[in-house]
Structure 1
Amino acid sequence: MKNAVAKIKLYGWRAVKLCLLFGLIELPQFALSLPKLLLKYVNGPIVYILTWMIFVGGYVAVTFILFTYLQRRHPERRIIWKPKGKEINTIIIGFIVLMAAKIIIGSFMTQQTANDAAIEKLFRISVNTSLMMVFMTAIAAPIVEELVFRGFLMDYFFTDQPVFAILLSGLVFGSIHSSTNLISWVMYVVMGIILAATYNKEKNLAASISVHFLNNLLPSVVMLLSSMQQLLK
């Protein structure tokens, strides 16, 4: 009985910490609204410089906190290193599988997901915001999200049962992304599962970060070009 209570307390506290980490990785996004607020009081160029400093600095700080905390949990091993050899093959295979899954599941969708719609809307605010969104979606998000969803989540729960850890990571990843319907939710869950499986195979966060980066890069560039075409008319 005591062991059961102790486990409930342990995993309950880990769930709370995970929720706090989810909130932490969202904080730098508030910088996206700064130009609109500050332009009323401060000169234009200074506002944009300040916004970028807070935006990039926020993500650097969050990444440092997450990485340091995770490394302290496992001082006996590295959690991220430069991929090479079979790790690169795993990244390529993971990306191909991810793209195939998105194409197959996407063929059943009749409308854009709420998450993609929200991102596209932000891209169309201004040229500066579009550039910030590319940095966030293609660079910052893959790093901080992999640290949390793969690094921490899979380290907190089902540590001795990798299949369950992968499934849980995918379910949570899919659930925190805005889904329009069941099909879009399934798409994000499958994406999370593929990223989790990539990490589990190599135990190197650089592998899942790389797949996540490749997945986000092309849509970000396409949205940037599309928004630039409209904003610069």
Structure 2
Amino acid sequence: MTKINNQVFDLGCFFVVLCAVTGKSEKIGIFRRFGSMFATIKRYDIIEGNNKSDQKKVMRLKNAMDKIELYAWRAVKLCLLTVLIELPQFALSLPKLLLKYVNGPIVYILTWMIFVGGYVAVTFILFTYLQRRHPERKIIWRPKGKEINTIIIGFIVLMSAKMIIGSFMTQQTANDAAIEKMFKISVNTSFMMVFMTAIAAPVVEELVFRGFLMDYFFTDQPIFAILLSGLIFGSIHSSTNFISWLMYVVMGIILAATYNKEKNLAANISLHFLNNLLPSIVFLLSSLHQMLK
């Protein structure tokens, strides 16, 4: 009998103790089931039963716990990847910090190097990691033929969905408000924001929320993978209310459906780029008009 991982058993003990001290069973059914599962595995691991049916039961339980451990770790990695793609944004605050100590032009050159270099490094890490997971196939290539048609149709559907959902909104989303505020900081920051929203964000977000997320969860159930991708994508974008949250969720679902159909991240990046480009230009022109008039 293969020995059960001590960390897994410790987690099982935690669930058992939690069940013992939290009271009514109807409120903790899921914890009780997990606790019972862990306890059963450990009991058979100690007894080393010879009964074949018992051994099969243990193996089924162990396989279940292996899956739980695998998906829990994948969820942690997804969170870390989400943090990773946010890191280059810290360069936006560098001019304000460095102008006190360094000459102006040097500060802006240094800021752009760190900003663009950060996104290049993050993209390289994500792309390399994802390609190593699937060395047998390409994950990105130049769209052509039916893939271009999918991008066009996806863009039309995306714009239509935004117009319909947007008609129920009474105010700007928190995410758009925060972006617009960043555009108004300075001329330099405005152009940095255009690069981030129109170029960098479509690349890194598609790598994480389509490339990795849909490769981590529900790989054999595309409908659930698409819904999960949309829900997580919508939830990481700041929303002021349910309608604004729903708009981002629908955007995520459309992008996920595009990836599920073509399996080409370039198609997703192109669609995401088209979606972000127009608002970026509008914010840029508006902020430049206010700052330069």
Question: What band does the TM-score fall into relative to the shorter chain?
Answer: over 0.9
1:149 to partner: Cα distance: 0.2
Tell me, in whole angstroms, the C-alpha distance in 2 between the residues paired with 1:209 and 1:100: 19
TM-align CA RMSD: 0.3
d(CA) in 2 for partners of 1:154, 1:143: 16
Give the corresponding residue for 2:94: 34
Please state how far the C-alpha of 1:3 moved relative to its aligned partner: 1.0
Deviation per CA, 1:76-123, whole angstroms, max 9, x where unpaired? Answer: 000000000000000000000000000000000000000000000000
Distance 1:105 1:98 in 2: 11
Q: Report 1 or 2 for greater relative contact order, CA contacts < 8 Å, sequence distance ≥ 6.
A: 1
Counterpart of 1:64? 124
* 2:138 alignment partner in structure 1: 78
Instruction: Say yes or no: does 1:158 pair with 2:218.
Output: yes
- Corresponding residue SS for 1:40: coil
Q: Distance in 1 between matches of 2:63 and 2:237?
A: 35
Aligned partner of residue 85 in structure 2, secondary structure: helix
Could you tell me how far apart the structure 2 residues matched to 1:214 and 1:137 are?
11
1:185 to 233, 245, 248: 245
Equivalent residue letter for 1:121: K
Aligned residues: 233
Q: Name the TM-score, length of structure 2 as normaliser.
A: 0.79
The residue that corresponds to 1:21 in the other structure is: 81
5+ long unaligned stretches in structure 2: 1-60
Moved over 3 A (4+): none
Residue in structure 1 matching 2:186, options 122, 126, 143: 126
- Provide the C-alpha distance between the structure 2 equivalents of 1:47 and 1:224, rounded to a whole number of angstroms: 21
Task: Map Cα deviations across residues 109-166 of structure 1 (whole Å, 9 max, x no partner).
Answer: 0000000000000000000000000000000000000000000000000000001000
Does residue 99 in structure 1 map to residue 191 in structure 2? no
Match in the other structure for 1:87: 147
2: CA distance, partners of 1:58 / 1:116: 23
Question: What is the distance in 2 between the residues matched to 1:211 and 1:108?
Answer: 24
Of the candidates 183, 201, 208, which is equivalent to residue 148 of structure 1? 208
Partner of 1:206: 266
CA distance in 2: counterparts of 1:216 and 1:176, whole angstroms? 16
Q: Distance in 2 between matches of 1:169 and 1:210?
A: 18
AA in 2 matched with 1:136 = M
TM-score, normalised via structure 1 length: 1.00
- Secondary structure (helix, strand or coil) at the match of 2:86 reads helix
**Higher-Rg member (1/2):** 2
Unaligned stretches of 5+ residues in structure 1: none
